[in-house]
Chain A
Amino acid sequence: MSDDTKRSKPSEKMIELRLPSKLGYERVAMDAAASLASRMGFETDRVSALKTAVSEAVTNAIEHGNQHDEAMKVVVLLTVRGDELIVSVTDQGHKTIDEAYVSRVPQISEAMKRDDKGGWGIWLIQELMDEVEFTTAPSGGNQVRMVIHLER
């Protein structure tokens, strides 16, 4: 029995994905999370919200945290606990998330004035998920923990 299995409570189910830091692999995490959420009974609109949040978190980890270094892994942990699905996305922390990005509300009128019109990912994650926490993992990487609750 693995350490994770020993630590998890009987009511918890965990799936771990280790993805190469290459754009496109966020789709694997997105599809796995969507499949799990659908089986748990989440409505289509909530599954869509989860897919966007997971893809943005993994894309950030690939692009920023791991700087596209394919040898570095993005670890996605999906945990089913009762009526909630917890998704944590951890990179290997080449570059830490800028605090300003976490509290910022982007404005399209401002984006239209800039050459780089991006920077929507972290805000979208926060808008779409029920709980979001940005922390530093014990390994030193960036960790995003997102929770979505099943409403019955």
Chain B
Amino acid sequence: MLEDELRVSTRVIGNIAVIDLVGDVTTFAEAKINAAYQEMSQNGAQQILLNFRQNDYINSAGIAILIGIVTEVTRNDQKLAFSGLSPHFQKIFRMVGLSQYAKIYQDEQEALTDLQDAATA
């Protein structure tokens, strides 16, 4: 009842691997998020968008999982971006420093447009 599961799904749009996260990003989310990232990486993804759905609960354990993804992305010379975060979590991500490693977009459309433009520029 209180361990709401995160739903994670993946899709590819152009040259961007999108990982959709619907639900809470807490310690219970680790295996699913890491598996989605590994799957996209093994398929050769160079640009990855973590698309949140205005999730209302991302805690420090969730932030630690995302720092793990940022670490892998940096190591593998990939590009990571975030979209769909509420204003509160955009602020938290900036405070923690995640925005130094991954650009934060308001929504998926803004992210896809900018990332595709950057790739073709």
Binding site for B on A (CB under 8 A): 22-28, 30, 45, 48-49, 51-52, 55-56, 59, 106-109, 111-112, 116-121, 124, 127
Does B59 count as interface, using CB distance less than 8 angstroms?
yes
Please indicate the chain A residues that have their CB under 8 angstroms from the CB of B96 in the complex: 106, 108, 120
Determine the distance from Cα of A116 to Cα of B63 in the docked complex, in whole angstroms: 12
Does B86 count as interface, using CB distance less than 8 angstroms?
yes
Q: How far in angstroms is the closest Cβ of chain A from B33?
A: 13
Interface size on B, residues (CB 8 A): 29
Interface centre among B3, B28, B86, B92 (most CB of A within 10 A): B92
Contact B70 A27 (CB under 8 A): no
Q: How far in angstroms is the closest Cβ of chain A from B94?
A: 11
Determine the distance from Cα of A111 to Cα of B3 in the docked complex, in whole angstroms: 26
What secondary structure prevails in chain A residues at the interface with B? helix
Determine the distance from Cα of A23 to Cα of B61 in the docked complex, in whole angstroms: 11
What secondary structure prevails in chain B residues at the interface with A? helix
Contact of B88 among A26, A30, A48, A106 (CB under 8 A): A48
Please indicate the chain B residues that have their CB under 8 angstroms from the CB of A118 in the complex: 60-61, 63-64
Given contacts A28-B2, A112-B67, contact A107 B86 (CB under 8 A): no
Please indicate the chain A residues that have their CB under 8 angstroms from the CB of B88 in the complex: 45, 48-49, 52
A-B pairs with lowest CB-CB distance, top 7: A24-B2, A108-B97, A48-B88, A118-B64, A120-B60, A117-B64, A117-B67
The 18 listed contacts between A and B (C-beta, < 8 Å) are A48-B88, A51-B57, A52-B59, A59-B59, A108-B67, A108-B70, A108-B98, A108-B100, A111-B64, A112-B67, A116-B64, A117-B64, A117-B65, A119-B64, A120-B60, A124-B60, A124-B95, A127-B95
Closest residue of chain A to B71, judged by CB?
Answer: A112
Sample of 12 further A-B pairs with CB below 8 A, known A117-B65, A118-B64: A48-B87, A52-B59, A52-B88, A55-B59, A59-B60, A106-B96, A107-B97, A108-B100, A111-B67, A117-B64, A119-B60, A120-B60
Closest residue of chain A to B59, judged by CB?
Answer: A55
